[in-house]
A and B are shown apart, each in its own frame.
Chain A
Amino acid sequence: MDPRFRALWGRAHRRWRLMQAMRAFEGSLWFGVLVLMVWLAVALWNDSHLIQSPMLVKALIGVAVLAVFSAWINWVDPKRLARMLDHWFDLKDGSRTTLELDDASAGNWKSASIDQWVEQLNRESWSKRWPIKPSRWTLLSLLGLLILGGALQARYTVALSELGRRMKEQAALLSQLDSVEEMFKQWEEELEKNPNEALEKALKDAEPLREKIAEKTMDQREALLELSRMEEQLAKMAEKMKSESLEPLLGEMAEALEPLPEMDPTAQALKKKNAKTAEEELDEARKKYEKGEVALPDKNRRRSMAERMKELAEQMAGRGQQQASQSMSEMAEGLEQGTPRQMSEAMESLQESLAREAMRQAMEQSLQAQMGQMQQAKKRIAQGSGEGEGEDSTPFLADQNADNQEKGIGAGIDEKPTGDETQSDAERKLEVQIGQVGDEGDSQSMTLSANQGTQEQDAAYRVEDFAVYEKMSLQAIGSENLPATHKRMLRQYFETIRPQAPVEETQP
């Protein structure tokens, strides 16, 4: 290749690359303007999107650098370059001809042609004939990019950061609500296996909440309120069941029955408030009374024992336990009259009451377990959206990551503002035998299982702890040098976990 041609060819190469790079730069500028406009439109229309300001600016700079770099290293097609050279300098296809012709076929002609246009190219001003400068529109786009980018940077940096955080919170919330739905599904499975009136009612109450979870339209506060409402309902149900139970009288029952022959195992079970075992032991004793295999004490002692049992019967009647009261009265009469058979009949009726009590105890335990789960869910939702970085996204049904690694909002705040959790046995099972030995038909049993996890203190305790921790947080907000958004977050966090219902109960 002719050295003069080679020199100019190299110059043309560089100029072509420069032109490509300029075009890429122009393209990336327009791309940047477009992205910023879309971004602005989204920000004005709806404050939810994923891009944060610093990321966007970096991404735009990255795109521009990449575009320019790729244009610069791009392979140069010699034919295109020759055509371009001919075009810009009006060489009448001289460059193309030079490139395509070999020296052997047209040596002198080619050389003369090169002379001709090399002279022209050296004479011409390259920057004038082949201008590589940004167009007016490019400068306009650059100006627009700077103004728009600067304005957005100044106006929306904080807001967008906040929005990004909210998005993360929303994602975490949805994840937690999915876990809540999982909890309800577990309840349904439990209900299928073991019919439970309380659980059925709880599930029915949960239907509106489940619909909202399915629609994914809930925010953090609404979710917490709904879960609190559910928790309150469960608590009321548990309270009601407790008020209708025999449990407060089981100790006195033990004392009343203990002096009777063959009643010691039953009394021991009653002392332990284990209604199911008591019912089983009572069944064993009843069989002996029925067969007359027991020796009753003398008349005076029987009378005093009967008196004690009648007092107990009255107490039972006072608590609404009519059947148990009647059974106890009949037992007292049978004892007074010294007829074990009559006593055995009364025992049978008392057995039924104890069986119901056993079922109630199981249901109460189940309710406590559900409430525990509910509290866990609330805690997870409140913490999950308030902790910022380092939050644990594991569903609450799984083992909770106790390692508190949060570094953002919420750092330094006790993660147990409602006090230590009340520990209870996880995966506890309670089998309840329904019916009596000797009854016709298949015997039935019901197994109530507590879910995994731990229970927490009652909501009433949380109210006191909440007030303490809220006060501490407000003091911290006032004294510490925290960003305004963080302070707002802290207030919002305590607002969302405020236990409202128990507060009302404590202010009659």
Chain B
Amino acid sequence: MSPAKKQTHAQTVTLSSDNKTQLKESIQTFQELFDSLQTEVQKLIVGQEEIVRNTLIAMIAGGHVLLEGLPGLGKTALVKSISDALHLSFQRIQFTPDLMPTDLIGTKMFIEDNQGGSRFEFSPGPIFCNLLLGDEINRATPKTQSALLEAMQEKHVTIAGETRPLDKPFFVLATQNPLELEGTYPLPEAQLDRFFFKLNVPYPKHSEFEEIIERTTGKEIPEVNTVFEGKQLLEMGQFARETPVAPSLKKQTVELILATHPDQPGAMDSVKRYIRYGASPRAGQTLLLAAKIRAILEGRFHVAEEDILFFAKPVLRHRVMMNFEAQADGIQLDELLDEICEAMKARWDQDAAA
């Protein structure tokens, strides 16, 4: 059942690069839209700027986000506030082991009408929305998890041989708890790969914590208003894709992705030792797309090396599989990814100086 959308009078702003003046204006508009969206979301979410920012970047790129963090850190609130700010239909599913795929995507139900006739009628599941919050996604069985695969990638679902498109835009923001791993089903690699970013939600700082308490226990709880509609988000995503990337930067992106592969010639020793599988080509696409959006947000008309490196961890941390030895040695994937990034940067600097 789709909840009723809030009424909004926000107009969709067209972003254009037809001429230089329009381009410059569009870049500025893009920044303003993004800032206003983030500001609105941050009314409810205290701190977590990077998480909010990266989540919004992933959504502009049309990607899904996997949020990992302890309970009570504001993951659900974040998703809810985004949906409010974008005037998106929002659904929340609490994943449990007994959740079935039909509970997610819907099913055909046998209906008897008043005239004594009967028919099968499709009853859509909660996936038919703009923003789906999959809470504790790793608690569902792989069967149910895989039901999300088609929806996430193809933006449609197939039920009883009938393909039904999902609403546009469609985003999945899933959460998972790094603790309480008993009775959980780790997400398969194929599904992990479909998440644009995996973001680790940190514990709020002391000052942020105080602010959270202040805001949520007062008489008036902040209300998130709609900034613009989901269509604008699609427009922004389309515009961001035009950002030019120098061939050498594309090459560097590929090099960074391949650097996570232990079987590549010249792979780092730590990569050979601790990594089982490297990132997929989809990681490269994601990296470049995110870098383009960041470049615009930084007010630039081109992608820079630092944009690529900036998103290395959120893009790669769920796409690179560490082996048993890494777990045994207590190796943290983020540290390993930092090491890879530093090594690649050093190599690129050396190439430039050669």
Listed in ascending order, the chain A residues whose CB lies under 8 Å from chain B are: 79-80, 83-84, 92-94, 96-101, 105-106, 108-113, 115-116
Contact = CB atoms under 8 A, between A and B. Distances in A.
A97 B352 contact: no
Contacts of B246: 93, 96-97, 99-101
Contacts of A100: 246-248
A96 B252 CA distance: 13
A113 B20 contact: no
Nearest to B250: A100
A96 B304 CA distance: 9
B311 interface: no
A109 B298 contact: no
Given A80-B352, A97-B302, A111 B20 contact: yes
Contacts of A93: 246, 249, 302-306
B188 interface: no
Nearest to B16: A108
A112 B244 contact: no
A110 B246 CA distance: 10
A93 B309 CA distance: 13
B17 interface: yes
Contact of B244 (A79, A80, A105): A105
B24 interface: yes
B300 A113 contact: yes
A106 B300 contact: no
Contact of B306 (A83, A92, A109, A110): A92
Q: What is the size category of the interface that chain B forms with chain A?
A: 20 to 34
Nearest to A79: B352
Interface in B301-326: 301-306
25 contacts: A80-B354, A83-B353, A84-B352, A92-B304, A93-B246, A93-B302, A93-B304, A93-B306, A94-B302, A96-B246, A96-B249, A99-B246, A106-B244, A108-B18, A109-B17, A109-B242, A109-B244, A109-B302, A110-B244, A110-B302, A113-B300, A113-B301, A113-B302, A116-B300, A116-B301
Interface of B: 17-20, 23-24, 27, 242-249, 298, 300-306, 352-354
Contacts of A80: 352-354
Among B20, B24, B301, B304, find the residue whose CB has the most chain A CB atoms closer than 10 A.
B301
Contacts of B306: 92-93
Given A97-B246, A97-B249, A108 B20 contact: yes
A111 B304 CA distance: 16
Contacts of B19: 108
Q: Is the interface of A mostly helix, strand, loop or mixed?
A: helix
Given A93-B249, A100-B248, A109 B352 contact: no
Among B27, B300, B353, B354, find the residue whose CB has the most chain A CB atoms closer than 10 A.
B300
Given A96-B248, A97-B304, 20 more contacts: A79-B352, A80-B352, A83-B352, A92-B304, A93-B246, A94-B300, A96-B246, A97-B245, A99-B246, A100-B247, A101-B244, A101-B246, A108-B17, A108-B18, A111-B20, A112-B20, A112-B24, A112-B27, A113-B244, A115-B20
Given A108-B17, A109-B244, A92 B298 contact: yes
A105 B250 CA distance: 15
A92 B17 contact: no
A111 to B, nearest CB: 5
Among A83, A98, A101, A108, find the residue whose CB has the most chain B CB atoms closer than 10 A.
A108
A111 B22 CA distance: 13
B55 to A, nearest CB: 24
A464 to B, nearest CB: 79
A108 B249 contact: no
Q: Which 6 A-B pairs have the closest CB atoms?
A: A106-B244, A83-B352, A92-B304, A113-B301, A97-B302, A93-B304
Contacts of B352: 79-80, 83-84
A83 B352 CA distance: 6
Nearest to B305: A93
Contacts of B247: 100
A92 B298 CA distance: 10
B302 to A, nearest CB: 4
Nearest to B249: A93
A257 B132 CA distance: 152
A112 B20 CA distance: 6
A83 B350 CA distance: 11
A108 B23 contact: yes
B29 to A, nearest CB: 14
B301 A109 contact: yes
A133 to B, nearest CB: 20
Nearest to A106: B244
Among A92, A94, A105, find the residue whose CB has the most chain B CB atoms closer than 10 A.
A92
